[in-house]
Amino acid sequence: MRKPRLLLVDDDFDAVNIEREILEDEGYEVTTSTSGEQAREILEQGFFDLLLLDERMTGISGTELLADARKRYPGIGAIFVTGYGDLRCAMRAWRGGALDLLQKPVDRASLIGAVRRALEESQVAREGRYVRHEAQATASFAEVIGTSESLRRVMAVVKQVTATDAPVLLLGESGTGKELAARAIHGQGPRKHLPLVVVNAGAITPSLIESTLFGHRKGAFTDARENRAGYFEAANGGTIFIDEIGEMIPEVQVRLLRVLEQKTLTRVGETVEIPVNVRVIAATNRDLHKEMGAGRFREDLFYRISMMPITLPPLRERREDVVPLAAHFIEKYGRELRKSIKRITPEALRKLETYSWPGNVRELSNVLQRAIILSPNETITPELILLRESSSSEGFPDLSQLPFKDAQLRFERKYFADLLSRAQGNKSQAAELAGIDRTVLYEHLRKLGLPGAK
């Protein structure tokens, strides 16, 4: 595991030297600066786990420097060390976001104790900010539901790679659980207490993905209004999960390959190399061999990320897992939606077991969530299992065929209103959660008189 990186800023040369020696003896990597201006330049060059700042310095104060640092690295922690014990100085430090306040001369035990506590607190803050808000927490192997032979074989390999730092490439159709597997690999591995950063390469416009991954300098392009660290710096010491890596444009593939080989990165618009220590887990539903043959994916990058390729089986190849998965989703969404579902009929289960599941586990999840919302009682019956095979135009089930039309309208309105709420008003995300096309979502919003319809 990498050493925590500390930036010690104080215009008192003697204090800087004493504190640096104490912290280096404890195994920390310490960079020092004797002015706020110089510290700003150092912060431009890379991420630090913790700042130790003198509040009163000539020029830029400690609170001003911390405010600048947090624009670039949200969640970074700071300890203020000062020779002035007055109340006004202490209040400035606390208002500025200090995790602790020490008074000079600092004794060894107080300094070490404060640094340990602050590192723990700032790590929690960073992890909470950088892990995608809508994603579930880091998973365990127990959350991968199923007992089929094909799934057991895959999970045996997943457990073997967990203890290593080898890059992993997760392959398989959309909806097979690649992100859940990535979270389990990180969550059960040696980096589990460090950040897991999730980025979907297919959801970021080509013009922004380079700066999103590697950061940028102010003025590097039109909308670069401030210096900003990228996802790789945010994940430093931990893991980055790059979903849909097959969608990444070739120009960014070149940059990514260099980061993986050199373990350094350069922000867009800069020349300074920043060291990074990140485990990479990638995923795609594309056939990368075909992509390489067509010149859309670099062979050298493929061999770099595919040291441990793992293919997750589609749900149609592990039908014995449909029933336990259904039980899991019924319990989960029943609790979330505050509806008591006590029974699913044998006919409804048979309908689930015989379906081909082109959308895999994600589609099963969506189907059962809809069934729970639309159920007028505590039982899920076959007509509530709305599948694409029995659908109307545009691949969405015709809800008007349900037998309880008045109740149906109420549940439909609640269902789509809840979708929009979960997606925070984002129509594309709401459509993805429902497993439908965005144009179909707009049509339902219009018919139901809900806001957001075009």
pLDDT on residue 442: 77
Asked if the model's pLDDT at residue 337 lies above 70, the reply is yes
- Picking from 313, 338, 365, the residue at the C-terminal end of a domain is 313
Question: What is the C-alpha radius of gyration for the chain, rounded to an integer number of angstroms?
Answer: 26
Residues 109, 41 share a domain: yes
439-443 mean pLDDT? 75
Q: Quick: pLDDT tens for 59-110.
A: 788 888 888 887 766 667 889 887 755 556 666 666 666 778 888 888 899 8
DSSP state of 312: P
Structural domain contains residue 136: no
Q: Of the candidates 129, 139, 149, which has an alpha carbon nearest to the alpha carbon of residue 281?
A: 139
State the CATH number of the domain containing residue 287.
3.40.50.300
pLDDT on residue 417: 79
Residues 207, 196 share a domain: yes
Beta bridge partners of 380: 344
Structural domain contains residue 454: no
Residues 297, 152 share a domain: yes
The mean-pLDDT minimum among 92-101, 148-157, 173-182, 201-210 falls in 92-101
pLDDT on residue 327: 92
**DSSP code per residue over 124-150:** HHHHHHHS-TTSPPPP-GGGS----HH
Question: Directed axis angle between helix 322-336 and helix 346-354, to 10°?
Answer: 120
- Whether 62 and 29 have beta carbons less than 8 Å apart is answered as no
How far apart CA 410 and CA 406 sit, in angstroms, is 7
Structural domain contains residue 412: yes
How far apart CA 213 and CA 402 sit, in angstroms, is 47
Say if pTM beats, i.e. exceeds, 0.75. no
- 368 Rama sector, left if φ>0, alpha if ψ -120 to 50, beta otherwise: alpha
- Picking from 130, 161, 196, the residue at the C-terminal end of a domain is 130
- Picking from 298, 313, 328, the residue at the C-terminal end of a domain is 313
Give me the amino acid identity at 138: T
Task: Give the CB-side neighbour count of residue 151, counting CA atoms within 13 A.
Answer: 23
Task: Give the CB-side neighbour count of residue 123, counting CA atoms within 13 A.
Answer: 17
Asked if the model's pLDDT at residue 407 lies above 70, the reply is no
Residues 272, 170 share a domain: yes
150-173 mean pLDDT? 91
Residues 161, 260 share a domain: yes
- Whether 4 and 75 have beta carbons less than 8 Å apart is answered as no
Residues 323, 308 share a domain: no
Structural domain contains residue 391: yes
Residues 365, 297 share a domain: no
Residues 153, 53 share a domain: no
Beta bridge partners of 6: 30, 50
State the CATH number of the domain containing residue 107.
3.40.50.2300
Give me the amino acid identity at 310: I
Place of tokens 């510290």: 39
Q: Of the candidates 234, 244, 141, which has an alpha carbon nearest to the alpha carbon of residue 196?
A: 234
State the CATH number of the domain containing residue 413.
1.10.8.60
- Whether 180 and 143 have beta carbons less than 8 Å apart is answered as yes
Asked if the model's pLDDT at residue 133 lies above 60, the reply is no
Residue-range definition of the domain harbouring residue 227 = 141-313
The CA-CA-CA angle for residues 49, 52, 58, to 5°, reads: 135
pLDDT on residue 136: 39
Structure-token pair, residue 378: 């505590």
Structural domain contains residue 221: yes
Q: Is 447 helix (H, G, I), strand (E, B) or coil?
A: helix
Structural domain contains residue 223: yes
Residues 325, 275 share a domain: no
pLDDT on residue 95: 66
Counted domains in the chain: 3
379-380/343-344 β-pairing: parallel
Structural domain contains residue 425: yes
Residues 197, 103 share a domain: no
How far apart CA 75 and CA 77 sit, in angstroms, is 6
Structural domain contains residue 329: yes
Q: Mean pLDDT for the chain?
A: 82
Residues 280, 186 share a domain: yes
Residues 10, 96 share a domain: yes
